[in-house]
Structure 1
Amino acid sequence: MTTPKPATDTIVRQQEEVRRSLPFNDTQDFEDASRGFIASRNPNIVTNADGRPVWDNHVYGFLKNAPPNEANPSLWRQSQLTAKDGLFQVTDGIYQVRGLDISNVTFIEGNEGVIVIDPLTSQETAAAALQLYQDHRGSRPIKAVIYTHSHLDHFGGVKGMVTQEDVDAGKVTILAPEGFLEHAVAENVFAGTAMGRRAAYMYGAGIDRGPNGQVGCGLGQAVSTGTFTLIAPTDTVSTTGETRTIDGVPIEFQMAPDTEAPSEMLVYFPAHKALCAAEDATHTFHNILTLRGAVIRDPHGWAKYLTETIDLFAARADVVFASHHWPVWGGEARIRPFLTQQRDLYAYVHDQTLRQLNQGLTGPEIAETFSLPPALAAAWNTRGYYGSLSHNVKAVYQRYMGWFDGNPSNLWTHPPVARARRYVALLGGRDAVVSAARAAFDAGDFRWAAELLNHAVFAEEDDPSSPSSSSSNPARALLADTYEQLGYGAENGPWRNFYLSGAKELRDGKTFGTPTATGSKDIVAQLTPEMVLDALAVQVDGPRASREDIRVDVVVTDLGESGTTYRVWLSNGALVYSKRKQPGEAQVSVTGTARRLTALAVFRLDPGKLVEAGVRVEGDKGALERLGSLLDPGDPSFNIVTP
């Protein structure tokens, strides 16, 4: 394993400029992040049933020190705040556990029991958070769980707090915004393999925690790596202004779809004068397009919903808390400016990106010179700790204009390896490229050094004379050094983690600890029959399947009075399906309930395993096996910084 290198003079000067330019003497966030503290776990380490740590906040003790030159002082400050852990009182009857996952869990006390908001990512961390709450507030029964939105870190720990049996028995209500289940399941299945691989970079799963390594990710410290669970909602909110009363607690809802998540809502508790802003107003500029990959979010709609939030709740709330970070107290005098800054941030970035793209500028051109108005630039809660100004501007451009910038030279470029070989040849070979990159590195132009060296590394593919290890390969070694310096300078948590992950992979190979999993058993179990078939379709190896003639009937026994039959077949390499009668007979049929038929996605059409899972298979089982052999589930450890 390689030892991290120190910051260069260029980065040291950059860090000094950050210290001079930002209001580090403003300590309000530290006061708020500590307010209401009751107790914490010591050490704050959570293990699974096998004794493997799935969460370790204790390791971030180094953040108590002053920031080193190897970390952006602004990101270091944010990590000091997000690393504060424990049980906190938000207001009378409302408590939060923070620092036990990347997200927060909130407990609202009712007449007899408690309402849980967003039960973290993992079953293990959720159980630990519940225990911490109960140790200090008593063992109140959970009456309801509210999912504010459809991201894993806001529902994945639900079975650490309640059981499916209690939900089925009506003892616990699971409340979520309209569209929650579809989006929660789809995001973690359809592109889950690629997202999981990139999430390992984004959250720094394989980077050592420390001043030279992973210091957090801006939204929290890290994502827990325990058991991801899901219980389907039993009640759905679809309209702003809807109300519920649960265990004597009145609740008002504001819908905010297609903001930070496709399915999202804010929650107001009038008796407590407390607003849960979900993830639409936190202490950072959020992602318009997350670096792990997702559907591009709508900052225009996001800003409009925050205007509605201000209109509905700013004058009524004494405190705003969210699913990440720390609350804002002080009534309208502080809440209105906070929500206004958050609203104006998304509106300004959206509108000004559109203004400039209509002048003919491309995404990178806009991002390079984009700056916020002074009032927004000076506010800590608008800093780009999670969604950088640079990549969010490019995301807005992409949302409206797509990947193509309009320049014909970029319409049909060579793929990375072919392009790299041509550049390296043009520049006089790899040694010349590395020499030029070394000069750029020494001059502090790390962006140019990275671009040159990326070509040098990608030009190595299939070249037996090019050693793969960075210790014996000057291009890889220098590219690792370059990524490291770029990481040290990054204010954005995911940027730092991406750069340092790239450096680690170049130096040490793909050793990424516990990756971010996606399609857990509970999540897959919630797939609808059509989502199961869609999940299979995106795995079909089209070129191999293009000459195959395979027809399958999928019979779902619990859809409608007489069940529903889907005809599934290959059509020119595409797996398609219809509920209408199709010509010809199916070669094989599979029959079961919707829940049992999710086994099709789990066992990749293996007839024997399907039968073991309670699915009836009739007809030519070989046809099912042939179809299964055409599935390509993807590579969860594909290369990122090398060909």
Structure 2
Amino acid sequence: MNKLKSQIAATYSFKTLKYQTILRGAFLVLGIILMPACQNSPNQNTSQVQDQEHPNITKLKSQNAEFIPEIIKLNEKVYVAVGYDGSNASMVIGEQGVVIIDALRALGAAEKVAEEFRNITDKPVEALIYTHGHLDHTGGTSAFIGNNKDVKIIAREGFKDELQEHSPVEPILKQRNIRQFGRDLPAKDIINRGVAPGITPTDRAGKGYIAPNLTFQDSITLNLAGIDIELHAADGETNDELFVWIPDLKTLFAGDNYYKSFPNLYAIRGSQYRDVKSWGESIRKMSTYPVEYLVPGHTRPVSGKTIVHSNLKNYSTAILSVYQQTIDAMNKGYTLQQTVDSVRLADALIEQPNLQEFYGSVPWGVRSIFLHYVGWFDGNPTNLYPLSSSQEAKHMVELAGGEEKMFYKLNQSLEKSDYQWGLELADYLLQTDYEKVKVTKVKIALLRVLAAQQINAPARNYYLSYSYELEKSLKESVL
């Protein structure tokens, strides 16, 4: 039992009071549910509790430095608001007025940024550019332009076409969105969202949105506020994405095609296919410009021609490498899981600070590419007509020697730190009527231990959110 406590302590004790509650809760669950298994463990009393958080959690916490609220001055004409909301908003000052690029999500947050911008210059807003249609970049527009109907609001054709509000499965997408971003998590569990603060403003979210009045298809050059600005279509995170290039200022606004994390090639909340090959090519195109200032849609700007070029180059290389490795594995006849197992970034890329998996995940991207090209069938005839989940669970329980033995193995998975296997065993048992409350409690503990070692914020948030949902369902069933 001591070894089991040590493993849970190592993952749950984060040296801060807010995580001690989780630690005590995990011990309580394990003490009540797992005591019989622990008493028979041959490895008990072999280690001691360690007051140490997982290195991945330490790395994820370090990402919080990217979201410190600040108006960042890149040069005399470009200012970027970071940390006021989940995304960035920028202001470019011209001779006759200013151009705003992206408008945040919450109108309340946008009003604060607009006021900060007006403290820098009182020139009127002549144009506002949307880099893409996601709500966190479009919800606060009216704060910047007011009732001025002469302001050009610019976006690509097909703007917002792919968003979840147009989906027939909108209800489940909303629920998964809540889990991915940890929107319902208690404050004590929140770190960040990988490329955004863990808690973002909700004051009139989306209420300031104003539709574009000028769209383009491939590229367009406009003189806005006396500044020549190039807009280029750049499929990637969305199919309405664009990037903004201002040659005279050597400044490029990348939208959500670039931020300081491995890119989210697939969103676990559920989304249409993100064209991975086009995404990599869009970034590669950006890397050909003489950029000195790179403004991401999330996280802080990057300055300096050499580092900007390096970041864009390794980003495009990583994306295109994942794409090509996946295609090559598929053409060898690999199944989905074999393909996932075979794809990895080169060591030189894995170590890059801007490619840490704070937000995106290589395996998720591989799965998305595979399913996009061949659909659900992975080529293995065994999977043409698989057993139902209940039939498979029945056979697996029989193979294990019965429900009691499988439950013992489930307890062992915690003791041996075999957490993913434990989740799968729990799911088999939950298909039966065996000790559903106890099995659910162990699954909750497994989810929280996995969360406590995740560098990927969406995965961590999803594990924790789901664990709280299970906990709530248990309480309701008792009542």
TM-score class, shorter: 0.7 to 0.9
Residues 626-637 of structure 1 correspond to what in structure 2 (within 5 A)? none
Which of 506, 521, 528 aligns to 2:470? It is 506
How many Å apart are 1:352 and its aligned residue? 0.8
Aligned to 2:210: 231
SS in 2 for 1:148: coil
Cα deviation, 1:230-254, whole Å, max 9, x if unaligned, reads 32111112223x2111111220122
- Matched to 1:489, the amino acid is Q
Secondary structure, aligned partner of 1:253: strand
Aligned equivalent of 2:134: 151
- Per the alignment, residue 445 of structure 1 pairs with 418
Is it true that 1:75 corresponds to 2:60 in the alignment? yes
User: What corresponds to 2:26 in structure 1?
Assistant: none
**Range that drifts further, 97-106 or 195-204:** 97-106
Equivalent residue, structure 1, for 2:293: 319
The corresponding residue for 2:226 is 248
Which residue of the partner structure matches residue 183 of structure 2? 205
SS at match of 2:148: helix
1:437-462, Cα deviation, whole Å (9 max, x unpaired): 111111010010010012222435xx
Query: 135, 138, 141: which one pairs with 2:124?
Result: 141
Which residue does 1:99 correspond to in 2?
Answer: 83
1:330 & 1:71 partners in 2: Cα distance? 29
Q: Aligned partners of 2:431, 2:105: CA distance in 1, in Å?
A: 36
Counterpart in 2 of 1:108? 92
Rounded Cα–Cα distance in structure 2 between residues aligned with 1:214 and 1:420: 34
CA distance, structure 2, for counterparts of residue 159 and residue 260 of structure 1: 25
Q: Flag the 1:174–1:352 CA change in 2: closer, same or farther, 3 A.
A: same
Aligned partner of 1:271 in structure 2 is 248
Query: Which residue in the other structure is 2:378 paired with?
Result: 405
1:277 CA drift (Å):
1.1
Q: Quick one: higher RCO (CA 8 Å, sep 6+), 1 or 2?
A: 2
Secondary structure of the residue aligned to 2:249 is coil
2:304 paired with 1:330: yes
Within 5 Å, give how 1:399-478 maps onto structure 2.
399-417=372-390, 419-421=392-394, 423-424=396-397, 427-460=400-433, 473-478=437-442
Amino acid at match of 1:159: S
Distance, in Å, in 1 between the alignment partners of 2:464 and 2:211 is 37
Partner of 1:32: none
Q: Give the aligned partner of residue 45 of structure 1.
A: none
Q: Partner of 1:115: helix, strand, or coil?
A: strand
Q: Which amino acid aligns with 1:239?
A: D
Counterpart CA distance in 1 for 2:191 and 2:5 is 16
From 256, 260, 269, the equivalent of 1:292 is 269
Cα distance in 1 between the residues matched to 2:474 and 2:425:
22
* Secondary structure at 2:71 match in 1: strand
Please tell me whether residue 88 in structure 1 is matched to residue 72 in structure 2: yes
Q: Secondary structure at the match of 1:182?
A: coil
Shift of 1:82: 2.9
Q: Which residue, out of 350, 354, 374, partners 1:377?
A: 350
- Counterpart pick for 1:162 among 119, 137, 145: 145
The 5 Å alignment of 1:49-64 reads none
SS at match of 1:356: helix
Structure 1 residue 493 displacement after superposition? 0.7
Supply the AA of the counterpart residue of 1:505: E
In the aligned structure 2, how far is the partner of 1:347 from the partner of 1:160? Answer: 38
CA distance in 2, matches of 1:215, 1:458: 33
Q: Specify the code of the residue in structure 1 equivalent to 2:385.
A: W
Does the CA contact (< 8 Å) of 1:7 and 1:488 recur in 2?
Answer: no
Conserved in 2, the CA contact under 8 Å of 1:10 and 1:444? no
- What code does the residue aligned with 2:450 have? L
Distance 2:308 2:55 in 1: 35
Alignment pair present for 1:191 and 2:190:
no
CA apart distance, 1:188: 4.8
Alpha carbons of structure 1 residues 243 and 494: separation in structure 2 relative to 1, 3 Å:
same
What are structure 1's unaligned runs of at least 5 residues?
Answer: 16-65, 468-472, 512-643
Of residues 445, 451, 459, the one that matches 1:481 is 445
Q: Distance in 1 between matches of 2:389 and 2:102?
A: 41
Deviation at 1:273, TM superposition (A): 1.4
Matches of 2:338 and 2:372 in 1, distance apart?
Answer: 16
Q: Distance in 1 between matches of 2:172 and 2:157?
A: 27
Displacement after TM superposition at 1:122 (Å)? 2.0
- Matched with 1:221 is 197
Alignment of 1:27-46 (within 5 A): none
* Alpha carbons of structure 1 residues 83 and 434: separation in structure 2 relative to 1, 3 Å: farther
* Distance in 2 of aligned mates of 1:208 and 1:148: 32
| Structure 1 partner of 2:39 | none
Structure of larger gyration radius? 1
Cα offset for 1:124? 2.0
The 2-side partners of 1:510 and 1:501 are apart by 14
Q: Structure 1 residues 67 and 200 mapped into 2: Cα distance closer, same or farther (>3 Å)?
A: farther
In structure 2, do the counterparts of structure 1 residues 147 and 352 end up closer, same or farther at CA, with 3 Å as the change threshold? same
* 3-state SS of paired residue (1:338): helix
**Which residue does 1:176 correspond to in 2?**
155
Secondary structure of residue in 2 paired with 1:91? coil
Deviation, structure 1 residue 417:
4.8
Q: Distance in 1 between matches of 2:275 and 2:412?
A: 41
Alpha-carbon RMSD = 2.7
Q: Distance in 2 between matches of 1:246 and 1:454?
A: 57
Say whether the 8 Å CA contact 1:92–1:272 is kept in structure 2: no
| Aligned counterparts of 2:474 and 2:82: Cα–Cα separation in 1 | 31
Looking at structure 1, the residues matched to 6 and 276 of structure 2 have their Cα atoms a distance apart, in angstroms, of 35
What CA distance in whole angstroms lies between the structure 1 residues aligned with 2:464 and 2:377?
A: 29
For normalisation by structure 2, the TM-score amounts to 0.83
Letter in 1 for 2:212: P
Aligned counterparts of 1:297 and 1:490: Cα–Cα separation in 2: 24
Q: The residue matched to 1:271 in structure 2 has which SS?
A: helix
Aligned equivalents of 1:252 and 1:328: distance in 2? 20
Could you tell me which residue of structure 2 aligns to residue 490 of structure 1?
Answer: 454
Letter paired with 1:73: T
The answer to whether the Cα contact below 8 Å between 1:362 and 1:397 also exists between their aligned partners in 2 is no
Using the TM superposition, give the Cα deviation of residue 147 of structure 1 relative to its aligned residue in structure 2, in angstroms.
Answer: 0.4
CA distance in 2, matches of 1:429, 1:228: 53
User: Which residue of 2 is the match for residue 572 of structure 1?
Assistant: none
Residue from 116, 129, 140 that aligns with 1:132: 116
Conserved 8 A contact 1:103-1:324: yes
